[in-house]
Every structure is written in C-alpha cells, then in structure tokens.
C-alpha cells in the first residue's frame, strides 16, 4: 500500500472500526476528493457546478484538482479551497444560531482561515467574528485569506487562549478547531503520518483540554462551544467530549444529520459527536461536537481606553463615498483609515482594548495629508463602492500577469487609481500616472510561479 501506517495506530483503528478497517485502508489508497466553498458575496460561474457537498449549500466537489494558483477567481476570494468534511462546522453553526443576528463568534484556532471564512459568510452584517491565531507567523496567511474573502465584520487577533479570560461572558459562540494528531489527514499529509505516536496523541489531548479550559470563561451563559478535530483518536475526540461535559457541566447538543450523508455518530457518557471517516463520507477524517454553557457570568461593560482614534472629520465624506452597505465608523491606524460597521464598533474597540489586534474591519485608504490612496483591502471587501472607481476588466492572461505583479498595459485606464477586475470580480488596483501604469498588487501576495 502507498501509506505505511504506524503499527500502534493500525492496532487501535482495527479495534475502533472492526470489520470496516479494511474498507478504511482501501479508501486511503483512493484519490482524495477536491472541494471548494463558494463566497456568497462574490458570484462565480463555479456556483453552477452540480456536484454539491451535502451538508454545505456553498460547497462544491470538483471533478479534478486544478492549479488553483493560476485561477484569478481564487485570488479574488470567489471561493476557498476547503476540505468537505470540515465544512460541517459551518453546518453546526447554522443549526445553533438559526436566524439570530448580533452574534459574537470567536474562532479560537483560526489559521489558515477555512472555517473563519465560512463563519464570516454566516454572521450577517450585524455579527462580529473574531479570528485568533496564537502562532505569530501564521497570522499573515489568516489575514490574507480573510481580506480576500471580504468580510468587514471580522477582527484578527494574535493571543494565547488564556488571554480571552479578559473578556468574560463576551462571546455567543466559541469555535475550537483544536490542534490535534492529524490522523484524519493521513491520506493527504505524509508529515502527519511520520510525526504520529501514541505519546503525541496524549500530548494533543492535554493541550486540547487546556485550550478549552482557558477560553471557557469567555463564553457567555447559554452560549455554544463548537469543538472539532481532524483526528480519530478517542482521547482527542469522544473522551475529550466527555471531559467537557463533566468538567464544566456543559450540555451536549445533538445536530440533525441525514442518514445518506454517512456521518458516524459517536456516543460517550450521554454525549454525541460526529465523525467523518474516509470510507464512508466523501471527505477526510473529521470530528465535531457542540455544547451549551449553562452557567457563568455575562460580559460587563467597561470603560474603553480609546487606543484607536477616529479619522479626522473632514475626510469622512470621502471615505463614505468609497464604501457601501451598513454604516461605518472610521478609525485611524498608522495613517490608514479603517472602516468598522457601526453595529459592532463598540465590540471591536473592546477587543482592541483587551487583545493584540492584527487586523480589524476593512482598511479603506492610506492618508497622505488630504490625499487618499485606496487600500488593497477595500478592493476585495464587500464594503467596496464600485461606482466610485473606474473598473478595468482583464482577460485571463493579463489577469495572471497582474497577479504576478508584472506591468500590464491598460489602454482605457483613467488617470489615478483604477479597479482591476476579472470576470467582474475585483483583484486590486493599478494607478495611471500618465507615462506608466503602476501595479499595486501586494508584493508578498504575488504569484511566484510562471504564468506565461
């Protein structure tokens, strides 16, 4: 077989799966399905793909895996390449929040951003999404993916889970996609196989307990915890689920699933979680369970330290012309005007007072005295007022050259800043300064492979 499984893992999985074990091993040899999740705010022809992920309306399976880097629609945020099983976390969120608005959600272990972008699509224009990543060098990728997705209601933080204790009872939902032993990813990740050991699964389980315990106080009474992993290990899944119930007196919440999805309910001490196994479900290994918090204290208001200052009043009318949708408050950070939806502005300032914020709202424009230069963040944001800018539609070869950060000749570019689009979706900016066109695509995001 192509994958050499660790002996201790094989022994345990034979015990867990019984007669199904050989079918599981056979599935690991089969081609891995490729799936994407569409951005409902950025229409794309990919929406017409008929092979849908059963538990996610925006999920699609692709017949084959393309070179995603060479698809401008990916860079435009039209979709996110996400493993189908993990989309179930969004399905669970829809069930627990229903049609509620003003929801505060914390995605605690957020990088690279797959579940964060999913939650962003579900919170509406009055919700708040806080996406946290404790490892600093993973934060830029999280920020990039959220920028491309375009949600103005998101904040990115770089904090240890214990830091969220400063926000007691603040969140309606806390999602913990816990760092784990990665057993469910063996088909796609050889490193996960090579690093696996029984000792490591125990270390992971201890870490997972600490993470949940550290963040528990940040969840309000009546709020929900969505706990997930990409492993099959009982210590990290059902035993951890049982520990949450007993340690915190939490109420396990059942999620409605359909038999034809072939999701495996896992029961332990009166709790139920949901396991995805490759030989039964069309995706990789995954586990998810949901709890409701029954006690604790609600968030109390506190005086803000005003660490973030508002934009000068004289600039606000021009900033308002650049944005659409929900009303915004405009703040100034490092000479950049940032728009935050009014519905969550106070919450965002509270977050900024309490945590290390790496991104918030939508960066609208860099300010040079009385001049405004639109930020790349704005080009991709749902808040962009496209009527405020001249748009230049590029064919595929030119779009790829633009994303490669090459000089692109555009005959009909207006003087100043122009919005570059592909299939009518914004990619970024160019600036016509008369004798040349400056490509303003972010240097550190550019395509590095050959695009010719």
Instruction: Specify whether 230 is catalytic.
Output: yes
pLDDT beyond 90 at 7: yes
Residues 151 and 246 in one domain: yes
CA-based torsion, 179, 183, 188, 191: positive or negative? positive
| Residue 230 located in a structural domain | yes
Distance of CA 194 to the CA centre of its chain: 27
Q: What is the mean pLDDT of residues 191-212?
A: 96
pLDDT of residue 306: 65
| Residue 123 located in a structural domain | yes
DSSP sequence for 211-276: HHHHHGGGEEEEEEEEEEES---TTTTHHHHHHHHHHH-PEEE-----GGG--EEEEETTEEEEEE
> Which of 415 and 207 is assigned the larger pLDDT?
207
pLDDT beyond 50 at 195: yes
Residues 113 and 229 in one domain: yes
pLDDT beyond 80 at 298: no
pLDDT of residue 302: 66
In the structure, what pLDDT confidence band is assigned to residue 166 with cuts at 50, 70 and 90? very high
Q: What is the mean pLDDT of residues 9-13?
A: 98
21 sits in which H/E element: helix 21-29
pLDDT of residue 1: 46
Q: Which of 244, 259, 292 represents a domain boundary (last residue)?
A: 292
pLDDT beyond 50 at 351: yes
User: What is the DSSP-derived secondary structure letter of residue 30?
Assistant: S
> Which of 452 and 249 is assigned the larger pLDDT?
249
Residues 139 and 265 in one domain: yes
Q: What is the mean pLDDT of residues 218-225?
A: 97
pLDDT beyond 50 at 347: yes
> Which of 1 and 344 is assigned the larger pLDDT?
344
Q: What angle do CA 95, 101, 107 make, to 5 degrees?
A: 65
Residues 142 and 261 in one domain: yes
Residues 189 and 239 in one domain: yes
Residues 325 and 448 in one domain: no
Numbers of helices and strands, H then E, in the chain:
13, 22
Residues 318 and 223 in one domain: no
Q: What is the mean pLDDT of residues 149-161?
A: 98
- The total of other beta-carbon atoms located within 10 Å of residue 271's CB is 22
pLDDT beyond 50 at 194: yes
| Residue 356 located in a structural domain | yes
List of residues 6+ apart from 140 with CB closer than 8 A: 444
| Mean pLDDT, the chain, whole residue set | 94
240: tokens are 């951890």
Residues 201 and 343 in one domain: no
Enclosing domain of residue 97? 84-292
Determine contact, residues 79/36, Cβ cutoff 8 Å: yes
181: tokens are 């032993």
In the structure, what pLDDT confidence band is assigned to residue 257 with cuts at 50, 70 and 90? very high
- Virtual torsion, Cα 438, 439, 442, 445, nearest 10 deg: -160
pLDDT of residue 313: 92
| Residue 29 located in a structural domain | no
pLDDT digits (tens, 9 = 90+) for 300-323: 666 667 678 999 999 999 999 999
Distance of CA 154 to the CA centre of its chain: 10
DSSP sequence for 48-72: G---B-TT-TTEEEESS---GGG-H
pLDDT of residue 304: 67
pLDDT of residue 231: 98
Determine contact, residues 273/265, Cβ cutoff 8 Å: yes
pLDDT digits (tens, 9 = 90+) for 403-414: 999 988 887 778
Residues 380 and 402 in one domain: no
Q: What angle do CA 211, 212, 214 make, to 5 degrees?
A: 65
Q: For residue 118, give the nearest of 158, 157, 77 by alpha carbon.
A: 77
| Residue 273 located in a structural domain | yes
| Residue 47 located in a structural domain | no
- The total of other beta-carbon atoms located within 10 Å of residue 199's CB is 9
In whole angstroms, what is the distance from residue 251 CA to residue 445 CA?
43
pLDDT of residue 295: 85
Residues 340 and 370 in one domain: yes
Specify the number of domains making up the chain. Answer: 3
Catalytic residue among 230, 233, 271, 288: 230
Q: Where are the beta strands (DSSP E) in 303-448?
A: 309-310, 328-333, 336-341, 357-360, 362-368, 371-374, 390-393, 416-422, 425-432, 437-439
Percentage of the chain with pLDDT > 70?
Answer: 97
User: What is the DSSP-derived secondary structure letter of residue 176?
Assistant: E
| Residue 62 located in a structural domain | no
Percentage of the chain with pLDDT > 90?
Answer: 87
pLDDT of residue 120: 97
In the structure, what pLDDT confidence band is assigned to residue 2 with cuts at 50, 70 and 90? low
pTM metric for this prediction: 0.96
| Residue 3 located in a structural domain | no
In whole angstroms, what is the distance from residue 396 CA to residue 386 CA?
21
Residues 342 and 425 in one domain: no
């Amino acid at each position: 077989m192509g994958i050499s499984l660790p002996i201790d893992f094989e022994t345990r999985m034979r015990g867990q799966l019984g007669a199904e074990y050989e079918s599981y091993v056979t599935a690991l040899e089969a081609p891995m399905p490729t799936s994407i999740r569409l951005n409902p705010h950025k229409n794309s022809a990919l929406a017409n793909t008929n092979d849908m992920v059963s538990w996610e309306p925006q999920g699609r399976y692709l017949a084959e895996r393309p070179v995603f880097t060479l698809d401008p629609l990916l860079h435009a945020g039209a979709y996110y390449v996400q493993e189908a099983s993990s989309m179930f976390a969004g399905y669970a969120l829809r069930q627990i929040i229903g049609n509620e608005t003003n929801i505060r959600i914390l995605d605690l272990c957020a990088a690279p951003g797959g579940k964060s972008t999913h939650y962003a699509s579900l919170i509406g224009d009055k919700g708040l999404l806080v996406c946290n990543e404790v490892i600093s060098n993973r934060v830029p990728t999280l920020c990039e993916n959220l920028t491309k997705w375009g949600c103005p209601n998101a904040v990115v933080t770089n904090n240890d889970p214990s830091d969220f204790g400063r926000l007691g009872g603040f969140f309606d939902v806390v999602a913990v996609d816990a760092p784990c032993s990665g057993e469910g990813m063996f088909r796609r990740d050889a490193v996960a196989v090579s690093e696996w050991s029984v000792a490591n699964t125990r270390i992971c389980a201890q870490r997972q307990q600490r993470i949940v315990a550290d963040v528990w106080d940040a969840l309000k009474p009546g709020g929900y915890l969505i706990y997930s992993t990409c492993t099959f290990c009982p210590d990290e899944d059902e035993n951890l689920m049982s520990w949450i119930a007993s340690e915190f007196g939490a109420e396990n919440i059942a999620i409605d699933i359909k038999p034809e999805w072939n999701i495996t309910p896992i029961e332990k001490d009166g709790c139920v979680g949901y396991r995805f196994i490759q030989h039964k479900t069309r995706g990789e290994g995954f586990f998810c369970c949901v709890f409701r918090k029954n006690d604790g204290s609600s968030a109390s208001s506190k005086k803000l330290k005003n660490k973030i200052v508002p934009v000068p009043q004289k600039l606000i009318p021009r900033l308002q012309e650049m944005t659409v949708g929900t009303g915004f408050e405009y703040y100034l950070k490092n000479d950049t005007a940032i728009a935050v939806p009014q519905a969550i502005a106070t919450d965002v300032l509270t977050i900024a007072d309490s945590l290390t914020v790496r991104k918030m709202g939508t960066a609208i424009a860099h300010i040079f005295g009385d001049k405004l230069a639109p930020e790349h963040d704005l080009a991709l944001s749902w808040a962009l007022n496209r009527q405020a800018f001249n748009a230049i539609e590029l064919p595929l070869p030119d779009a790829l050259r633009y994303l490669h950060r090459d000089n692109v000749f555009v005959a009909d570019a207006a003087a100043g800043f122009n919005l570059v689009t592909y299939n009518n979706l914004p990619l970024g900016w160019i600036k016509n300064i008369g004798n040349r066109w400056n490509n303003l695509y972010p240097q550190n995001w550019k395509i590095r492979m050959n695009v010719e």
